[in-house]
Structure 1
Amino acid sequence: MKTCPNCKSEIEDNWDLCWNCNYSMIENKVIEFKETTRISRKIECLRCKIPLIFSGEYKFHEGAKIGFFGNLFEAFVNREKFDLYICPKCEKVEFYLPQKG
């Protein structure tokens, strides 16, 4: 374990970025992460009538990897992306097509 020079938190030896304050051991400074803007949907749970929480964009594909040539056959499968929303009360999951922003 090593110690972050900025916030004194313990960091794994193989990490170059502090988990607590985003201090970079390589650049010797705190890294600022810019948040991406996203068009938010106002979607309510059909059961609970409370707003769904956006969980992220997930990528799925149809088909299975076949033996040794599995990665080669990945080029021929159908891939889809969906936005995933979750109800915090009943834990219902809903998929929507990603919005263009």
Structure 2
Amino acid sequence: MAWKCQNCSTEIEESSFEVCWNCGCERGQAKPPESKTQALKCLRCDSAMLELGSKELHEGTRWGAIGNLGELFVDKQALDMFACASCGKVEFFLPSAGER
């Protein structure tokens, strides 16, 4: 189910994203949160990258008839996701990488 960002009016197609890819505003919020981490620069166009939150990705495909039950037996990895609003580049990082 799609939702519309209250800050920049961008239509977010997939409901699994809780952060606007265009401005970084969280779903249901009127303004983007203040970033606690150093801003990442896009390697392609040198624009600031927006933090989209953490996504859990898994290896392989769904298990047909047993559907989500098969997810219990698949390796999963949580990754922090960042996107560039200027050029669309997406980067994934291990959670809390570089926080020392």
- If the length of structure 2 is used for normalisation, what is the TM-score? 0.53
Q: Which amino acid aligns with 1:47?
A: R
Structure 1 segments, 4+ long, off by >3 Å, are: 36-39
Structure 1 unmatched ranges of 5 or more: 1-35
Q: Secondary structure at the match of 2:70?
A: helix
1:77-99 CA-partner distances (Å, limit 9, x unpaired)? 11011111111111111111111
- RMSD of equivalent CA atoms: 2.6
Structure with greater Cα Rg: 1
Equivalent residue in structure 2 for 1:75, among 67, 72, 77:
72
Distance in 2, Cα, partners of 1:53 & 1:67? 35
Q: Which amino acid aligns with 1:96?
A: F
Aligned to 2:87: 90
Q: Percent identity?
A: 36
Distance in 2, Cα, partners of 1:38 & 1:52? 11
The structure showing larger relative contact order (alpha-carbon pairs under 8 Å, at least 6 residues apart) is: 2
Aligned to 1:57: 54
